[in-house]
Chains A and B, each alone.
Chain A
C-alpha cells in the first residue's frame, strides 16, 4: 500500500483552517425531524409491502386448495393427471391418492 501523499506546503495550513472554520453549519432540528419522518414512512411502506406479499401468497394458496377436487382421483385418471396429483400431494396430505396410484400401476 502506498503511503498517504502529503502536502508539505505549510502555506496551506491557514487555508485549511479557514475551510474548517468557514463552514460551521449545523443540522437544524427541522432536518432531524424530516429525516426521522422519511425513515418512519419508509419503514411503514416496507411493512405494508411485506404484509401485502404475505396476503397475496395466502390467497393464492387458498385459491389453489379450493380449486382442487375434494374427492379422491379415480385410479383410471391417475395416468393423465400425474401433474395435478403431485400438486395435490404437496398442498394437502391425501394418503389414499398415493395408494390408488400405486394400485393403478
Chain B
C-alpha cells in the first residue's frame, strides 16, 4: 500500500473530516476484509469497521504521531473485530439483513477459514488482505516475526487440507 495514500498527520491530529474521509477511501476495503476474515460475518465486520474508525478518531493524536499509521489502522480494526467476536450474540440488527448486499465470497473458503484458530486467522487476514510483511504483522500483534510466519504456514497447511477434503 502506497504511503502517499495516507493523509497528512497534522490533518489527522486536528480531526479534519477530509483526512478521515481519505483514510476511509484508501483503507476501508482491506480493513473490512481483515475484519471479515476474523469475524466470519459481514454485519460484525462492518460493526468492527465503524468502531475502529471511531477509536482512531478518539485517539487521533497518538495515531498521527505513531511510527506506522498503517499498522495502527489494521491493529485498530483487528482489536475491534476481536471485541465484537466476544460480545454476546443477540437478535440480528436491522442492517444484518435489510441493507447488506449479497456476500461475494467463496463459501467453501469461508467455512475452512472459520475452522482455523483465531491466532492463525488474524495472521492470514493481515498477510492476505492488508499485504503486511511478517515483521509488520509481528509489530501489530505484539508477537515475534517468526511466530507470525509460522502461524501463517500452519494456517495455509490446514486450509489446504480442509479444502482438499472438500474437493
Interface residues of chain A, those whose CB is within 8 Å of chain B, are 1-2, 4-5, 7, 11-12, 15-16, 18-28, 30-32, 34-36, 38-40, 42-43, 46
Contacts and interface: CB of A to CB of B under 8 A. Distances in A.
A10 to B, nearest CB: 12
The 4 A-B residue pairs with the shortest CB-CB distance, nearest first, are: A22-B106, A5-B149, A22-B109, A27-B28
Nearest to A31: B46
Given A11-B160, A31-B32, 10 more contacts: A4-B145, A12-B156, A22-B106, A23-B37, A23-B105, A24-B105, A25-B32, A31-B28, A31-B49, A43-B57
24 contacts: A2-B146, A5-B145, A7-B149, A12-B160, A18-B106, A20-B128, A20-B129, A22-B110, A23-B106, A23-B110, A25-B29, A25-B36, A25-B42, A25-B103, A26-B29, A27-B49, A28-B46, A31-B32, A32-B24, A34-B46, A34-B50, A35-B28, A38-B50, A40-B17
Interface in B80-121: 95, 99-101, 103-106, 109-110
Contacts of A21: 106
B109 A42 contact: no
B153 A7 contact: yes
Interface residues of B, number: 46
